[in-house]
Structure 1
Amino acid sequence: MPIFRMVKMRRTPKFTRQLLLNCALGVLLVVASIVSLRALHTGWAAFSETGNQKSNSAASPHVSQATTNSKQSPASLSQSIDSAIDQSELASARWGISVISLTSGREVYGRNANQLFIPASNTKIYTTGVALDLLGANYRWRTSVYADAQPDADGTIDGDLVLYGRGAPDLISQSRKDSKGSLAQLADDLYQRGIRQVRGNVIGDESYFRGETLGDGWPWTDLQWYFGAEASALSINDNEIGVNIFPHGKSDAAPQVKVNDADNYVSVQNSMTTVKRGGRLTIGIHRGLSDNTIRIWGEFPLDGKGFGARLSVHNPALWAARLFSKTLQDRGIKVEGGAQARNAREPISRRFDPAGSAELAFVSSKPLREIVKETNKASINLYAELLLRTLGRERGNMVSTPEPVGKERGDDEIGLAVIRLWLSRAGIATADLALHDGSGLSRLNLVTPESISRLLVSLSKTAAGSIFRESLPISGIDGTLGGRLGKITNQVSAKTGALTYITSLSGYLTAADGEVLAFSIICNDQTTRASATRIIDQIVSILAADPAIKG
């Protein structure tokens, strides 16, 4: 092993001077290093602060005109959007954003773009877009009246009269200038054919659609409201009624309740009381999940200005049958039987088969292009659900998924399979997506912002691409964007979405340089009282004002 020996060194004057000189040089080197590092740190700090100031300016409503019009780099655009979120009261919420150039297909901006989010009514983009492409913009629904045989010479139907629905979203009881697809039109056509009597029942048949009339994952608390209406193949008057409450004028009399239901299909139990002027208005409304009894309670001040609510109707097929029976009799056609409803919950051998019956009259719906426009502009859940089931019924042969054991697949499930197939063919990944309804009311839907923006890009390339884009609300002009984004009026066409703790906006945006972008912005878990809509509009405005997006 090596041996280390300690050697004692003798200090001479020359050695001492050399040691002092080395120490002095060492101190000078340390001081010089500290000065250099401090200067470098100051430079980086100044750069960082400047960057933050730019981000804050982009997010602030008081941006100078010079800053707004200056050409931003992609990094600056990202900083502006990030700042709008991270410096807001909703920084703790979960944000997903995907912005894609419609021309080049490149990603302009992304934030959690491939993470899963609940999209709310942005789900309607999947439903309406795919329906337009696969069914065609001029597709129409047909609602028919059938009997076992033609009427006899006296105009008598010897048996039941069947009102058969195929999912028309716009069937109404009385004709309007903008819609002739009504029960009144059917009754008039039957009368013109010489029919004067029906010896059987009037049956409202909704068996065209198989499966549930309610969406998978719909909260039970939503079902009594108009936006939770049942998606029946025989829907009528949007499957909803209006309830209006007014002060009576006398302190000892209950407030008045009026329902726009001429057939009295729903019943009202009014337990409200009147309180003195200036009192607090309290109202409770409840409709049973499986009946049409509406209970109303609370206190209404004498000087109250009135209150209105829109409620869904349970079993709309029976309601349609009752309305049709009354319409027939008003037109001069006697009906001896009552009104009944029939659905697909029957053995296949016992279901109604239109091919074996005589069609006596029919009405057609508006074309699909108009239905889709109404669906997206006003965000009508019922229409989207009927579209989904129509996709399953009409285009279900595109998918070959086997029937589950012991269960017949509903047309809503088949419609969702058709949508997934369409997405796959468009090159959009579907493995992680969870689609459970057509309207977005379900909290079980999970999609990525990028899947929506890629869908928007793909839809723009279809034959109905322009029709789909025109169906979306326009910023500052109409629909659910009529009162939003007024400073960039007509630059944005997008679908809004909102549920508890969820806000979304997805569509098309024309930027300052003319570049058209497909974008999707979704905010989940927004538990504070701050407005996610305001932040979303701020982000859209940043994108619209940036002249450096193209490239």
Structure 2
Amino acid sequence: MPLVSFSASFRSMTARLSAGALTVALATGLTLAYTPAAVARGGGSKAESHGPKPHSAFKGKRSEHIAVPSGPLPPTVMAALARAHVPISSMSVVVQRIGAPTPLIAINATEPMLPASTMKLVTTYAGLSLLGPDYRWKTTAYADGQVDTQGVLHGNLYIQGTGDPKLVPEELIDLVDQIRRNGITGIDGGLVLDKRYFDAATRDLPAFDNDDSAPYNVGPDPLLYAFKSLSFTLTPNPDGQVSIDVLPQLAQLQIDNELHVTRGACAGSLPAASPSVSQTASGFVQASFIGDYPLRCGSRTINVAALDHSTFFAGGFLALWKQTGGTFSGTTREGATPSSARLVGTHRSPVLSDVVRDINKFSNNVMARNLFLTIGAATAKPPATPAKSAQAIQQFLRHSALPMTGLSLDNGSGLSRDEKISALSLAEMLQAANSSPVAQVFTESLPIAGVDGTMRNRLTNAGALGNAHIKTGTLRDVRAIAGYVGAQNGESYVVVSFINDPRAEAARGAHDALLEWVYEGARRAGTAE
């Protein structure tokens, strides 16, 4: 799938991109972009149609409470571990046929492990079950004061957020248009951001690995806009200039372009393509590009997390507001919406099933974190806190006969050294999800081996191509997989495996070998063929 091209003009952007188009790479670090038209279809390629389908309810006893007969790991998996110098003690594995009472393989299965992004499966399954696949977030606009005959609001415009994870330019423009249809074309009061839905303590937390500019580190916010990240597309031209386009536009953004095209070879990391983004004393945001840019490097897109959430949202909203002809002469701040303010616009997000698809296919951290907090706010009273969300999810799991021993929730995305779960607990949750009312939506949200999402480049020449719906997880010293495999014999299996080891990165082949072995029929390891 080609990388989405960006434009500095909102109108030309909407002419080229379908509604909702924006790179999920902004929040994941991936260079893959998605087209929301495909996301909305909920179907997929021919390869996807061969994946595992929901089966009848799992009625076996909980594996934690009985002896778990288990064969050893398949020889191909053991060989891959040996090549990576990873001991079997660093790996936790469960392979279980859907509907079977006990696992076929259970190695270190009850040990709490770092799951990385496979923790998103817990968050998304709980979200779909508790909120419903058709749940939508609301972003609302209120006005106080009078509107004169010229359409100027002599008062404040309030924007109230509830954590919409997919509030991108193509979505926010709907709210702007609604405000204008209500007769407001100018604002001479303040733009006030009402962010009370999430507790203030959930914002501006330290980055996971101390890299504040990494889009995957963006934290949650009730008014999350465009993943709080700028996407710059640099294109060298034969005339010696480098054009720079950006999405989203921010009203206060200025670009200082001091790039020069050279004729040399394209090699290395190309430091000139990485901007320095800073806020000036006058309130402007300046992105500076300096250096030589080889013509042979062609067009490149760089994603940078920038500013705080309120500054980013205000800049994005006002850019759209001014592009539609609106005027603004006030200041921006955070504050509560007064009860006397009147409603002038309500934007509803895409349905949760679409959001979950983005979260799992592309391992979008900030979307997962917003969903995690939304669960807490929707099932208890706002403001949301991680504790409320964790309690709501734990309670849902207990009511579903899934006590999930060893589960520790932090932010719901897996981008944490504090979130842990056992392979057996996650496997049992996947069994339950497979027989739940949200089984189809949940399963279709997972990346498909060799086809899309984070599995698009894996098992492309293997039998498992198109037959494994697998969520991946990656942290330093962690590799993880979890999901469903449709075997060539017609049976379907739950597969969960975590590798927690300093050499985990080198052991990815062990996971691919495990998935291929399951696809080929998951014969008990060590038995005769």
Indicate the TM-score class for this superposition, using the shorter chain for normalisation: 0.7 to 0.9
User: CA contact under 8 A between 2:117 and 2:413: conserved in structure 1?
Assistant: yes
The 1:298–1:364 alpha-carbon spacing in structure 2 relative to 1, beyond 3 Å, is same
User: CA contact under 8 A between 1:124 and 1:384: conserved in structure 2?
Assistant: yes
1:483 aligns with 2:465: no
User: CA contact under 8 A between 1:392 and 1:416: conserved in structure 2?
Assistant: yes
SS of equivalent to 1:188 = helix
- Provide the TM-score with structure 1 as the length reference: 0.72
Task: Pick the structure with greater CA Rg.
Answer: 1
Offset, 1:142: 0.8
| 1:212 corresponding residue in structure 2 | 202
| 2:264 corresponding residue in structure 1 | 277
| 1:434 corresponding residue in structure 2 | 408
Count how many residue pairs are aligned between Structure 1 and Structure 2.
447
User: CA contact under 8 A between 1:103 and 1:516: conserved in structure 2?
Assistant: no
Between the aligned partners of 1:99 and 1:290, the Cα distance in structure 2 is: 51
* Equivalent in 361, 370, 390 of residue 374 of structure 2: 390
1:188 aligns with 2:177: yes
1:313 aligns with 2:313: no
Unaligned runs of 5+ in 1: 1-73, 176-180, 343-350, 398-407
Q: Deviations over 1:34-59 (max 9, x none)?
A: xxxxxxxxxxxxxxxxxxxxxxxxxx
* Equivalent in 133, 136, 147 of residue 137 of structure 1: 133
Q: Deviations over 1:293-341 (max 9, x none)?
A: 5565666446443543211132233332233334334434433313x14
- Does 240-249 or 206-215 show the bigger shift? 240-249
User: CA contact under 8 A between 1:513 and 1:548: conserved in structure 2?
Assistant: no
Between the aligned partners of 2:265 and 2:158, the Cα distance in structure 1 is: 53
Q: Deviations over 1:216-270 (max 9, x none)?
A: 771212x3122122322112223221134455768xx896655445336455667
The 1:159–1:433 alpha-carbon spacing in structure 2 relative to 1, beyond 3 Å, is same
- Does 79-88 or 481-490 show the bigger shift? 79-88
1:194-343 paired onto structure 2 within 5 Å: 194-210=183-199, 211-213=201-203, 218-221=208-211, 223-245=212-234, 258-263=245-250, 265-266=252-253, 277-278=264-265, 280-284=267-271, 285=274, 294=287, 300-301=293-294, 303-338=296-331, 340-342=332-334
The 1:427–1:85 alpha-carbon spacing in structure 2 relative to 1, beyond 3 Å, is farther
1:518 aligns with 2:494: yes
Percentage of identical aligned residues: 22
User: CA contact under 8 A between 2:160 and 2:337: conserved in structure 1?
Assistant: no
Between the aligned partners of 1:83 and 1:535, the Cα distance in structure 2 is: 7
User: CA contact under 8 A between 2:250 and 2:318: conserved in structure 1?
Assistant: no
Q: Deviations over 1:101-145 (max 9, x none)?
A: 321231111111112221111111111110000000000011111
* Equivalent in 510, 515, 523 of residue 540 of structure 1: 515
User: CA contact under 8 A between 1:247 and 1:306: conserved in structure 2?
Assistant: yes
Offset, 1:538: 0.6
Between the aligned partners of 1:352 and 1:149, the Cα distance in structure 2 is: 15
The 1:533–1:502 alpha-carbon spacing in structure 2 relative to 1, beyond 3 Å, is same
Structure of greater relative contact order (alpha carbons < 8 Å, 6+ residues apart): 2
Q: Deviations over 1:364-389 (max 9, x none)?
A: 11110111011111111121111011
| 1:48 corresponding residue in structure 2 | none
Between the aligned partners of 1:203 and 1:514, the Cα distance in structure 2 is: 57
Offset, 1:545: 1.0
SS of equivalent to 1:493 = strand
Q: Deviations over 1:392-426 (max 9, x none)?
A: 111136xxxxxxxxxx9852332122222223333
User: CA contact under 8 A between 2:488 and 2:519: conserved in structure 1?
Assistant: yes
* Equivalent in 471, 481, 496 of residue 505 of structure 1: 481
User: CA contact under 8 A between 1:228 and 1:382: conserved in structure 2?
Assistant: yes
| 1:377 corresponding residue in structure 2 | 361
- Does 234-243 or 379-388 show the bigger shift? 234-243
The 1:86–1:364 alpha-carbon spacing in structure 2 relative to 1, beyond 3 Å, is closer
Write the letter of the residue equivalent to 1:318: T
1:122 aligns with 2:111: no
Offset, 1:539: 0.7
SS of equivalent to 1:163 = strand
Write the letter of the residue equivalent to 2:513: Q
Write the letter of the residue equivalent to 1:192: R
User: CA contact under 8 A between 2:279 and 2:286: conserved in structure 1?
Assistant: no
| 1:80 corresponding residue in structure 2 | 75
Between the aligned partners of 1:203 and 1:471, the Cα distance in structure 2 is: 36
